Structure formats: structure tokens, C-alpha cells
Amino acid sequence: MQQKCVFLDRDGVLNRERGDYTYRLEDFEVLPGVPEALALLKQNGYLLVVVTNQGGVAKGLYTKADVLACHQKLQNSCNHLLDALYYAPSHPAFSESLSRKPDSLMLERAIARYSIDPMQSWMVGDSERDLQAAEKVGVPTIMVGDKYEPNSYTYQVHNLWEAAQLILENDEVRKGKL
């Protein structure tokens, strides 16, 4: 049986976007409402998978260990609700990778590993490249924040809590309950 999933970008969706690379634990701040939103999605049967570009690794600004430490802090802050955390350590100026969004390999790997149904799933991101990666594999998208105008396929909300509400409303519509 295929599962439903919410794919999540990290910086700007789960933790505060600093406008610079976030890799030091003291700078890694989980946004308000994120643990509650994740818990609500989990209670409603969603797998929770983080897909994040971490090009600072390829640039030599920080290490894979720094990324993993931030991910552990995220898990600890969110009651270990995240099922998987994928990251792309490459950067186009240093190394090419199909994992790096807007390419979709991180999502494809999770879809294969966890038997995820793309049409029952969602991608929540805060950039065009997040949504482009999801669209390549047929996953509906939600834009968080106001850095970009939504395209014709995209919902736009302020934060992950609002995204979770939208996802659950759409579940009800899909089930024919509204």
C-alpha cells in the first residue's frame, strides 16, 4: 500500500531563514508552530520527509557533521516526528548533483524507499526550486512565505501551521467530506 507524505524544505519552513547558511546550533531556531504542525500531520497519517539543499558543504563553509547536528536538534525540538531527512551537499559552482533542488532525486529516493503516492502527498517549500522539484515527480505544492508569487499550481500560506491546515482541508475534500 502506498503512503502519503509531506515533503518539507528546511530553512524558511522548519527553521528560521537567516539569509545566510544555517549550520551552527546556536543559529538553528525552529520556527513557532512547527512541532505542533508536524504532530498534526503525523496524527493524520502523513510521513514527514525533509529535503534540503546544503551547498555550504561543497563550498567548505561547514561539514556534513554540522548538518547532521542541526538535523538532530530539529528532531529533538519536534519530538522525533520526522521520518527521514535528505540533504544535498553539492553546489553548482563546485559539484553537480541531481539531488540538489530544483532536481528531484531526493524526492525520488524517498518515494521509492517509503512507497509514497505522489498524488496523495505534498511539498511545502519557501522557494521556486522546492516547488519545481516536487512538480517533476507529480507532488502538489504549497509555498510558505511571500518571497515569491505563487504559480498557477501552488497554494501560498504564511507558515507550516497554515500549510498543515490546508493539507488536512484538502484531505477532507479528497474524501468527499466537505
Which amino acid, residue 37? A
**Containing domain of residue 27, as a range?**
5-175
Q: Is 9 a catalytic residue?
A: yes
Question: Nearest-CA neighbor of 4 among 50, 41, 31?
Answer: 41
Residues making up the chain, counted from first to last = 178
- The catalytic position among 11, 66, 103, 130 is 11
Q: Is 171 a catalytic residue?
A: no
- The catalytic position among 9, 66, 103, 126 is 9
Which amino acid, residue 168? L
pLDDT in tens, 66-121: 999 999 999 999 999 999 999 999 887 777 777 889 999 999 999 999 999 999 99
Number of domains in the chain: 1
Q: Give the DSSP per-residue string, 28-93.
A: --BPTTHHHHHHHHHHTT-EEEEEEE-TTTTTTSS-HHHHHHHHHHHHHHTTT--SEEEEE---TT
* Cα 36 from Cα 136, distance rounded (Å): 29
CATH classification at residue 168: 3.40.50.1000
Q: What does pTM read for this prediction?
A: 0.93
